[in-house]
Amino acid sequence: MPQYRLILTIIGLICVLFPFTTNATKQNNSQIYIVHCEFPDGERTTRNQDLESYYLSFLPATTSDSSREAPRLIYSYRNVITGFAAKLSLEDLKEMEKMEGFVSARPEGILDLYTTHSVNFMGLNQNMGFWNDSNYGKGVIIGVIDTGIFPDHPSFSDDGMPPPPTKWKGICQFNTTKCNNKLIGARYFRYTGNDPWDEDGHGTHTASTAAGRFVAGANIFGNANGTAVGVAPFAHVAIYKACDDISCYGSNVLSAIDMAIEDGVDVLSISFGNRFREFYEDDIALGAFSAMERGIFVSGAAGNSGPFSFSTSNDAPWILTVGASTIDRKIKATAVLGNNQEFDGESAFQPSDFPPTLLPLTYPGNNASDYYAIYCDPRSLNNMNVTGKIVLCKSRSTEQVDTGKAVKAAGGAAMIIMNSEYWANTTFAEAHVLPVTHVTYADGLKIQEYINSTTTPTATIVFKGTIIGNDRAPVVAGFSSRGPSYVSPRILKPDIIGPGVNILAAWHISLENDTRTNSTFNMISGTSVSCPHLSGVAALLKSVHPDWSPAAIKSAIMTTADVINLKSNLIEDETYLPADVFATGAGHVNPSKANDPGLIYDIEPSDYIPYLCGLNYTNRQVTVIAQRKVNCSEITSILEGQLNYPSFAIQVKSNSGVQVYSRTVTNVGQANSTYRVDIDSPRGLDVKVEPTTLVFSEVKQKLSYQVTFTPFATPSTISSQGSLRWISENHIVRSPIAVRFSDFR
Ligand SMILES: *[C@@H]1O[C@H](CO)[C@@H](O)[C@H](O)[C@H]1NC(C)=O
Ligand SMILES: *[C@@H]1O[C@H](CO)[C@@H](O)[C@H](O)[C@H]1NC(C)=O
Ligand SMILES: *[C@@H]1O[C@H](CO)[C@@H](O)[C@H](O)[C@H]1NC(C)=O
Ligand SMILES: *[C@@H]1O[C@H](CO)[C@@H](O)[C@H](O)[C@H]1NC(C)=O
Ligand SMILES: *[C@@H]1O[C@H](CO)[C@@H](O)[C@H](O)[C@H]1NC(C)=O
Ligand SMILES: *[C@@H]1O[C@H](CO)[C@@H](O)[C@H](O)[C@H]1NC(C)=O
Ligand SMILES: *[C@@H]1O[C@H](CO)[C@@H](O)[C@H](O)[C@H]1NC(C)=O
Ligand SMILES: *[C@@H]1O[C@H](CO)[C@@H](O)[C@H](O)[C@H]1NC(C)=O
Ligand SMILES: *[C@@H]1O[C@H](CO)[C@@H](O)[C@H](O)[C@H]1NC(C)=O
Ligand SMILES: *[C@@H]1O[C@H](CO)[C@@H](O)[C@H](O)[C@H]1NC(C)=O
Ligand SMILES: *[C@@H]1O[C@H](CO)[C@@H](O)[C@H](O)[C@H]1NC(C)=O
Ligand SMILES: *[C@@H]1O[C@H](CO)[C@@H](O)[C@H](O)[C@H]1NC(C)=O
């Protein structure tokens, strides 16, 4: 439903409203609002009962107007924000605004939802090195906010798992006892059914990617056969079902984080989000801030809106923002045309009985008067006869199984999916319901040319199974959202990339009634999938370094990331050209190196306050995030670039001069170590660092340096990139430098 935003500033009152008004709410304006408030004396009560009665005092008494629904308290938040969710009409809101202690209110947002060779691909091997040293995440609790979980899946077996740590206070809301020492908690929230059961599969997939147990003989229709395992197989899992199979409700998300904080999770994994939200009206950013203050690490999906600039979500600096890239495995399916041309594509469904005979090939998209025909929309297929044919269709999302169902329903024999121009060479191996191959955009064009060149185009598909060892990997996925950050463009986003294309993980549904196609694992793609990989890595690091703050863990992951692929070339993007830093962030996660970063860039929760003031947020907006009264005029605010972040994002405006930032690094390597700086200057910018050598004599010692960026030319490109590295005998601590030559914000 199209939504437009109305910004009302009620003159003379101390509050600001940001209502989303829809056609539906014009007729019936009761809807769920997130209301932020504060205690008159600035003191927060600690007794939950007092808190709830305080919140209830904001709700206007039952309305006399019988056409209106009575206001209702939906969630009373205890940890995540000072405030509550309530069903209110605009009239109720107006009354509420007059009350002392009211700060702001906004309608809840709806967030979009965005598997296991990938673990070995990240360099984790059983009984060896870091994976073994971290005890596979033993003792750490990962909270997954998603569509629920399928508790009986073997990925959540608790065989050999110790009980949860004593700090655990969570509960299990399954009707029958489904939780165990692996799945230690499960909660559900409004609109999501009557239990934490995963009706979709998404939550089961993300939870098992972060922390699934070893399951031998996992495969999808016999492909990618092997032992499936999550990144932190000995970590405990708690699921918070805040989403149905399509979307996540803002009030639920806040409540889920509220509960997760109280329950005692160590890591939160959030594979959904929305874009273009300032931090004070972004439920995930708000929730993550409170979580971070309590030492909880938050990993969030960057979004699937790539390759367009300014498309990242979950881009608050206190969140690890995770983009997606490929692994070195392909499940090959080759399109063979009547003229003998061959194009390698992918599919997870590899029927052995598909005949190699050529079948008629058709492209519905050649009907120029039907726009949707290029996507093989069911409506378009109704208008044509595709019976017994191989149908060429263009892709428009990370999931094409439904397109295949439409082609099959229309009588098609097989399907070739070609990519959109934007996603270029990023292809998916999915659990299709008919013979399919997904080919690149360039190959799709060649197939179109062939179709145009003859009156009787024909083709077939040859299935070639699982092939490991593609040394181009990792490649940034076309869909992976790109920086700069819209909300805070001088913080580089995404932070990191990790495996997110064609990942096999737990999934409980049989895709069809055909028993041959049963699969308790499924292969999906998205930043939804890369995010839980990083949640798992954070759990491993937390297990080895329980004293590291969320910022320290993030720093360790970022400064040790890989910038080259298996072939030792620069990591490429979907066009197979070197990826830019707004696609990769710091690079591809390297968990073993992250375990021993040498230096870390730490950030205290209170350091974010001067940063938020520096974003020119009002006192009220900062108060909403910080949950305590903040007066920006009383503190020294800082520029975004001055936050002690492990990367640099420099904006060069037409009139900008020299920019100077400082950073402080903490020694977590050998006590006596000496680092010298190595600078790879971005085009158009001179970079100087003072001092050029850092000499440490103690562990945990902090030293600072200053970096001066001097623009000397505006290149013809819109951006450029470089790096700043601190190099010692045993460590390289790398920070990417992103430069954007523009006047944005
Ligand atoms: C408004 O919507 C709610 C539920 O969506 C319904 O219960 C209520 O009767 C509606 N009120 C009016 C006036 O339509
Ligand atoms: C794996 O970890 C265990 C327990 O921490 C240790 O005893 C063992 O030596 C380690 N094995 C290897 C190969 O490092
Ligand atoms: C729980 O399960 C039992 C037995 O299957 C059933 O009778 C009961 O209605 C269920 N309760 C809920 C709340 O779903
Ligand atoms: C998967 O691999 C296991 C062990 O290598 C083997 O026993 C099993 O038959 C394989 N399954 C399939 C479907 O190929
Ligand atoms: C092309 O699309 C139009 C509009 O949907 C439809 O009416 C027409 O039958 C189609 N033509 C062919 C040849 O399929
Ligand atoms: C569709 O095409 C097939 C094969 O070309 C043919 O056998 C069938 O009769 C056609 N169906 C209709 C409704 O035209
Ligand atoms: C194929 O022909 C159609 C018109 O029949 C044209 O619009 C399209 O651009 C052609 N495609 C290629 C790849 O040549
Ligand atoms: C599977 O079988 C059940 C029962 O026979 C039926 O109700 C359902 O529609 C079938 N589903 C599909 C996808 O064919
Ligand atoms: C597929 O699932 C059905 C129902 O759960 C089961 O009866 C059947 O044995 C399974 N088939 C295979 C090949 O695992
Ligand atoms: C990769 O994508 C680019 C851009 O679409 C294209 O030019 C190139 O041919 C593709 N490479 C391969 C191997 O498909
Ligand atoms: C905040 O406002 C100051 C003064 O108007 C301006 O110089 C600065 O660029 C603004 N900062 C941001 C992040 O918009
Ligand atoms: C570090 O160096 C100092 C002075 O050179 C020495 O006194 C100290 O023992 C060394 N510390 C370690 C842990 O090697």
pLDDT at 511 over 90: no
pLDDT in tens, 256-306: 999 999 999 999 999 999 888 999 999 999 999 999 999 999 999 999 999
Question: What is the average pLDDT across 602-610?
Answer: 98
217 Cα nearest atom in ligand 4:
1
CA 600 to chain centre: 23
Beta-bridged to residue 37, according to DSSP, are 102
Q: DSSP string of 230-277? A: -SSTTSEEEEEE-B-SSEEEHHHHHHHHHHHHHHT-SEEEE-EE-SS-
CB 420 within 8 A of CB 441: yes
Residue partners of 681: CB distance under 8 A and separation at least 6: 687, 722
Report which secondary-structure segment, H or E, holds 131.
helix 129-133
CA distance 374 to 211: 39
Q: How many Å lie between the centroid of ligand 3 and the Cα of residue 21?
A: 39
Report yes or no: 665 and 702 within 8 Å, Cβ to Cβ.
yes
Instruction: Assess contact for 526 and 112: CB atoms under 8 A.
Output: no
**Average pLDDT, rounded, for the chain:** 89
Dihedral angle computed from the Cα positions of residues 78, 80, 83 and 86, in that order, rounded to the nearest 10 degrees: -90
pLDDT at 29 over 80: no
Structural contact between residues 491 and 607, judged by C-beta atoms closer than 8 angstroms = no
In angstroms, the CA 224 to CA 228 distance is 10
Establish whether 202 is a catalytic residue.
yes
Name the amino acid, one letter, at 58. Answer: F
- pTM of this structure: 0.89
pLDDT in tens, 617-661: 999 999 999 998 899 999 999 999 999 999 999 999 877 789 999
Q: Where are the alpha helices (DSSP H) in 47-197?
A: 48-56, 90-97, 117-121, 129-133
Cα dihedral 70→71→74→77 (10° resolution)? -160
**Which of the ligands is closest to the CA of residue 134?**
2
d(CA 565, CA 474) in angstroms, rounded, equals 6
Token couple for 358: 């050529």
Counting ligand 4 atoms within 8 A of each CB, the residue from 220, 221, 225 with the most, and so the one to mutate, is 225
> 226-230, 310-314, 585-589: which has the minimum mean pLDDT?
226-230
* pLDDT given at position 225: 81
Which residue in the block uniquely carries the two structure tokens 């918070």? 240
Residue 64, pLDDT score: 53
Any catalytic annotation for residue 344? no
Pair of tokens at residue 273: 């989000």
State yes or no: pLDDT of 10 exceeds 50. Answer: no
The stretch 21-31 carries a mean pLDDT of 48
| Rounded CA separation 302/272 (Å) | 8
Residues with CB under 6 A from ligand 2: 127-128, 132, 135
**For ligand 7, mutation pick of 452, 453, 454 (most atoms within 8 Å of CB):** 452
Answer whether 152 contacts ligand 9 (Cβ < 6 A): no
Tracing tokens 């600039």 back to the chain, one arrives at: 309
> What does the DSSP 8-state code read for residue 141?
E
pLDDT, position 231: 95
pLDDT of residue 650: 95
